[in-house]
Structure 1
Amino acid sequence: MTKSIVCFLVAVISQNSWSQNQERTVINGKITSNTNDLEGVYVVNAQTETMTTTNASGAFSILAKPDDVLVFSSIQFKENRVLLTCENFTDLNFTVRMNLVMHQLQEVVIKRYDNINAVALGIVPSGQKSYTEAERKLRTATALDATANAGTMAGGSISADPLLNFLSGRTAMLKKEVEVEKKEFFMKLLERMFSLEHFVERLKIPAEYVKGFEYYAVENKQFTTILNSKNKTSTEFLMGELAVKYKEIIAGEGK
């Protein structure tokens, strides 16, 4: 008797389940958002707990019926629940809008790590000389290519480019560019270390002559060596001596 009751209940439950699934049909849709990363979003029928995921274009297909609730969820999107209507099943462009999860930072702390650089990361070999843009051009124009035709009886040849660059004056021009680049570098370094007020109020150089004094100072090899060491005290001391000489020069021009 007990076995008969159990078999009857199983049959009824199976019949109800089959009837419910028969009422549901496949609904096709697509999610949209402000991003192209639409793949892998979970689509769950809250009533049947069946699940699927969207493809690369955001499209999905799932078994459902009107009044079912589809739950859309993903790490990058806010959860969205959609109550299905009859119109959704006949809509060839059934789309669900997804909103991106925005993580607002309360504070951003920027730390300087002096030990992390191209050498420490293994990008540039240790001890390798670095070149500026002008220095690279000059090096390319004057470098001898001793590997050309390597392996021949002559044991290789030397590129004629350096000689041609020398004769055409290109080498001399590139050397001037390197010198100008160095002076510009020292000028910027000097202006970062000392303000305009320092030149005018401390060194007593008229404001209209400050730029001229900077050019005068970076022409001095001893000064640029000390300036490049970033020793502000030594730089300021020598700059004071140069300022005295420079003021004598502009005073003499005024006579």
Structure 2
Amino acid sequence: MAQAIELHGKVQSSVNVENIHVINATAQKFTITDKNGAFRIPVKLNDTVSFSSVQHEPKDIIITSEILSIKTISVRLKEKINTLDEVVVGKILTGDLSSDIGNVEEELPINFYDLGIPGYTGKIATQSERRLAQAGEFKPIMLLGLLGGSMPLDPIINGISGRTKMLKGHVQHEKNDTLLKRIRIELSETLFSLNPLEEEFRMDFFYFCEMDDNFYARCAGKTDLEVLEFLQEKLKTYKANQILKQN
């Protein structure tokens, strides 16, 4: 009974069962469910296995001798219900101009869909991305423009002044910031259940991760397992730095 076994399990729910976090904090092991809700994780007697996701209420299972003997488990999770603030439909006029002006109905501006005109439906660029596009970027092929006297000057000027490099930095910072927010929401609970860190240091730790040159490459488009591996590596370094500062 003291030996670890590989537990085969399946999560059931009325909503999506893929990518649910399965954590054995006792053994410091972590995995996620596949598209069918199936998972495998090493356990021992009396280990606590936790299940969590943004769509479900968290749930803990204590590993009993019965579970160890059959080596399988089925877990049903409840969908997490998010309550919304009360919404009032329709306009409410009180007679007070300062408050009623915000409740007056107005017609929406006509767009290209209304007129049957094809329009851009892709991702809307951020302000930094628009500025970078306007600044342009110097490419060697532009030198051919010298022959015809039509070489664009903005990319050269912005390249020499460093403005293009600065704008690229702003665009990357926005991408890092968006990615970091998603990681904090989806992985904080799992990370700190496996690797405890005082609440007051957690935000500082995530900024420490963002400063890593490999942060975006290691985390963007990666699975939770891959991201968690990166976070655990950085947390070891962060804690080691804290010890050095204290000494």
- Flag whether TM exceeds 0.5 (same fold): no
TM-score (norm. length: structure 1): 0.41
Higher relative CO (CA 8 A, sep ≥ 6), structure 1 or 2? 2
Q: Max radius of gyration: which structure? A: 1
